[in-house]
Amino acid sequence: MAIIGNSSLWQDTFPDYLIPDILDLILSAWQVFSKPKIDDHEVPITKRFRVTLIQQRDLVRLPVRIDREIPEDDLESGIEKGRIDLLFTSVETCREDVYFSFECKRLNVISKDGKRESLAGDYAKKGMMRYVTSKYASGLICGGMIGYIMNGDSKTAIKAVDSQVKKLCKELRVSPPSGLCQSSLIPNHPQIKETTHILPRQFVIHHVFLPL
């Protein structure tokens, strides 16, 4: 049967050439973003950050749409599996199930009484695990995590996440002793890491750590 139009509109994976540009966009937008208060939560931070991302996207003319809190439904049962914090779709793609997403979590949170909570465990178990269990990005080969480092201490936050990934390598389906690895897309950048997960397919999570 003949395919009418551009067959690339129906490709099964998000265009990989856009991913380094998206990672760069996250970093550059954070540089000009009006930083949140140390006790702000993920949703209001991401809500405001999306506005800055759209402004920066338009400056560099990146051909993506940026949405937030997008429901991810099971395509068989119709039951909502969750809501994706940040979702990038290519303007070249017509499919709702082909996207690049970010799950956003806070790290190194400072409580009102001055105590610090790492929350690296939540980052791994309640963030990364959404990809491992195919709650998000089912059938895709990559996704993203954003860590808002609330006390600005990137070194401590990244080290804590790395420790959790190694500790939970079996559950996260990461080949031990691997933790956070250098980004293959933007090598040697201190704020960007990646992990590779052995699911029914190989799945890569790109981690972006953003300090206040």
Query: Six-digit token pair at 212?
Result: 């206040």
Distance between CA atoms of residues 201 and 174, nearest Å? 12
pLDDT tens by residue, the chain, 212 residues: 333 444 444 457 889 999 999 999 999 999 999 989 888 999 999 999 999 999 999 999 999 999 998 867 665 655 666 789 999 999 877 677 899 999 999 999 987 777 789 999 999 999 999 999 988 998 899 999 999 999 999 999 999 999 999 999 999 999 877 899 999 999 999 999 999 999 988 999 999 999 99
Query: Six-digit token pair at 161?
Result: 């996440």
Provide the H-helix boundaries in 41-183: 42-60, 120-122, 129-132, 154-167, 169-172
Task: Give the pLDDT confidence of 144-196 residue by residue, as tens digits.
Answer: 999 999 999 999 999 999 999 999 999 999 987 789 999 999 999 999 999 99
Distance between CA atoms of residues 88 and 37, nearest Å? 26
Helices (H) and strands (E) in the chain, counts: 6, 9
Task: Please tell me the pTM assigned to this model.
Answer: 0.90
Q: Kindly state the DSSP code that residue 75 receives in the 8-state scheme.
A: T
Distance between CA atoms of residues 150 and 122, nearest Å? 15
